Amino acid sequence: MADGQARVLQGNEACAIGALAAGVDFFAGYPITPSSEIAELMSQCMPLIGGRFIQMEDEIASIAAIIGASLAGATSMTATSGPGFSLMQENLGFACIAEVPCAIVNVMRAGPSTGLPTQAAQGDVQQARWGTHGDHSIIALAPSTVRECFELTIECVNIAERLRTPAVLLMDEVIGHMRESVVLPSGDEYDLTHRAAPEEGMEDYCPFGECDAEVAPLAAYGGEYRFHVTGLTHDAHGFPTMVPEEVDWKIRHIVGKLESRADQLASNEEFMTEDADVLLFAYGSTARVAKASVRALRDAGVKAGLLRVRTIWPFSQKRLRELAPRLRLVVVPELNLGQISGEVERAVCGETRVVPLGRVDGHLFVPDDITSFTLEEATS
């Protein structure tokens, strides 16, 4: 596919191709609208590369399978949508505390519950961050183009492998089902990251120990090293502990290894922000509409700009804080009732006014929705 030729691809197709390019060799999943095309394509392609595809009985089993496969040395992934993502939360927490690398794709649809299975939404943003209980951190990436579905799937797998963590790709239904003409980058245009393995013959292998690299190497189950894995808070060897110092270090470690890299993990795009005093903050399909709104606002005499984030979690505060002192307004359009606007407000620390603009009827914004709302707020 990476031969320099333009192709018309669906976002879900680009995601599956990105997973193959990233080295995913185990996929377990259960069909669910609007993500099913990912599983369908993986079921066709995995046998061709010597990988394994399993259709599980449900989403609970799906994430359990990719965790087990990852511990055995596979690069693993699953894909789902809102109701299935809800079912995965307990095992997502297990992957966090056990530091098991795996990628989870959530093609968001309108909810709660069954909701609108074929309609767009961005209502799982806070669920991705806080869906599983306890203190933890998470990586969640949000593409806005079909090519980004390819690129950010690779990035999602890379981060999971490098930092030994579950990583989430948050697409909304429009991005998953949208088709665009894309030219996929060749293998020498992107880097792949593989988990660090323990040195051969290591006498005292500590799968969860503090080390110079901050993230301990991970041996494959069934190989040279035997080690214990548990969802209980555990010590460096993986055995349950209630020693306060060890518990404290463990929780701070699984949070800190992502939060300390927030600026490094942050990925965003700016459009006309050089002189902007009104900022639109958006992600996913909404950012595409917001870009058109920026042009319309400029035509109306408003100095508008767009900050589009590809990394939702850890939340990128640095650029917002840099822009905030010269802004008089930030408008946050989302296909929900304001799930990320609170994070924006916290980031700007009172330096400017933040106004959410939500839509939850299953339909996309059109440019005039955002333009008219912003004009009204900017002149009020």
Burial 281-320 (b: 16+ CB within 10 A, else e): bbbbbbbbbbbbbbebbeeeebbbbbbbbbbbbbbbbebb
The answer to whether 27 and 46 are in contact (CB under 8 A) is: yes
pLDDT at 212: 53
Please compute the mean of the pLDDT values over residues 158-184 and round it to a whole number: 97
Residue 210, pLDDT above cutoff 80: no
Pairing of the two strands 139-141 and 166-172: parallel
Q: What is the mean pLDDT of residues 67-86?
A: 98
Task: Kindly state the tokens that stand for 377.
Answer: 């707020």
- Look at residue 316 in the predicted model and tell me its pLDDT: 80
Res 108: pLDDT: 98
**Bond prior to 34 in cis (omega within 30° of 0):** yes
Q: Is the pLDDT of residue 203 over 90?
A: no
pLDDT digits (tens, 9 = 90+) for 253-302: 999 999 999 999 999 999 999 999 999 999 999 999 999 999 999 999 99
pLDDT value, residue 222: 87
pLDDT band at 5 (very low <50, low <70, confident <90, very high): confident
> Which tokens in the block code for residue 127?
């669920």
Q: Tens of pLDDT along 314-329?
A: 998 999 999 999 999 9
Mean pLDDT of the chain: 95
Cβ-contact 377, 371 below 8 angstroms: no
Give me the residues paired with residue 54 across strands.
28
Position 2 pLDDT exceeds 70: no
Res. 162: pLDDT tops 80:
yes
pLDDT attached to residue 380: 83
pLDDT value at residue 213: 55
pLDDT (tens digit, 9 = 90+) per residue, 14-47? 999 999 999 999 999 999 999 999 999 999 999 9
Q: Could you tell me which residues are beta bridge partners of residue 329?
A: 278
Dihedral (Cα; 87, 89, 91, 95), 10-degree rounding: 150
Picking from 44, 105, 103, 47, the residue whose alpha carbon sits closest to that of residue 75 is 103
DSSP letters for 286-340: HHHHHHHHHHHHHHTT--EEEEEESEEETT--HHHHHHGGG-SEEEEEESSSSTT
4 band by pLDDT with thresholds 50, 70 and 90: confident
Q: Which domains does the chain have, with CATH numbers?
A: 7-189 (3.40.50.970), 269-378 (3.40.50.920)
- The mean per-residue pLDDT over the stretch 176-203 comes to 88
Distance (Å, whole) CA 18 – CA 22: 6
pLDDT class of 189 with cuts at 50, 70, 90: confident
Q: Are 110 and 132 in contact (CB under 8 A)?
A: no
